[in-house]
């Protein structure tokens, strides 16, 4: 077996008591530059379902863990640009931070998503 065939992948689903858990997601960077705390607090958050999948990304020329946000109203539209090479950066009682790359054309910028449960 090849190393690729031996790899095991897991999917984690976050559920609230009665339905899928939606998050309020706030971007923490603009064109790769970190925003100030007051700018992050003032920024408008989007509501959606976070989906992370391992997929082949042609723009990167390799496989990547890709986070996407699906609209909270049931549409299958992507609310934010995908987050490539996604990883869990921080996690606490009030939310979590996903870190990765955001592609704009052929340029990749560092991006972080501050995600907190819908009711917070």
What domains are there in the chain, each with its CATH number? 22-117 (2.30.29)
- Per residue in 10-53, pLDDT (tens digit) is 555 555 444 567 899 999 999 999 999 999 999 999 998 898 99
pLDDT of residue 76: 66
Q: Is the pLDDT of residue 1 over 50?
A: no
Segment 76-92 shows an average pLDDT of 89
What the block records as the tokens of 16 is 């609230």
| d(C-alpha 19, C-alpha 114), whole Å | 21
pTM of the model: 0.78
DSSP symbols for 23-55: EEEEE-EETTEEPPHHHHHHSPPEEEEEEEEEE
Lowest-confidence segment of 5-14, 71-80, 84-93, 97-106 by average pLDDT: 5-14
């Amino acid at each position: 077996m090849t190393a690729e065939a031996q790899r095991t992948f897991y999917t984690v689903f976050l559920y609230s008591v009665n339905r899928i858990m939606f998050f309020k997601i706030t971007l923490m960077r603009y064109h790769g530059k970190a925003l100030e705390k007051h700018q992050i607090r003032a920024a408008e958050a989007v509501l959606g379902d976070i989906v992370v999948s391992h997929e082949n990304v042609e723009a990167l020329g390799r496989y990547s863990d890709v986070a996407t946000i699906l609209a909270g109203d049931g549409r299958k539209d992507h609310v934010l640009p995908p987050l490539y090479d996604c990883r869990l950066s921080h996690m606490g009682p009030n939310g979590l931070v996903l870190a990765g790359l955001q592609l704009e054309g052929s340029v990749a910028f560092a991006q972080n998503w501050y995600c907190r449960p819908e009711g917070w």
